[in-house]
Amino acid sequence: MRVLGIDPGSETLGWGVVEGSSANYSLVEFGTVKSKPSDAFSKRLFKAYTGVEELIAKFLPDVLSVEDTFVSINAKSALKIGQVRGVVLLLGEQKGIEIAEYAPRLIKQTVVGHGNAEKHQVAEMVRILLKLKTVPKPHDASDALAIAICHFHHTGMRNKIKTARK
């Protein structure tokens, strides 16, 4: 299975590709899609769309794993991130890719062990789990890798539950 993890952002969208199975996965590649803050928001949405579209064409993921929206102190930022998520989800549907959405606290709980983990803790656990020499940077990319890793862990658990029910 190949998973494209997406950390949606209107200026910096993090992405990470991880492949393998729930028990054994490894890094393929990671990075960001950056937009200029001075660009109109519609242009930034288009940049996110075309950037993720190129990633899908290049890496051919089986699953698009996306961080779910959370309510932040800044409602305007939350709305913008929600719109970026909408563009990414639409693209996944258009391409016929399985979509998985995970809440930020669940991602942190899964990867670090507690839902209130700091960004540096998430990045360090991503480094350890993917057996990397250094922490993936920027944090948008390490967050995207954490989102992909989260999917592997939850898919593995769902498969174990299905097997146990048979």
| Catalytic sites, residue numbers | 7, 67, 140
The whole-angstrom separation of Cα 74 and Cα 19 is 35
Query: In degrees rounded to 5, what are phi and psi of residue 69?
Result: -70, 145
Q: Which residues of 21-38 are buried (b: 16+ CB within 10 A; e: fewer)?
A: ebeebebbebbbbbbeee
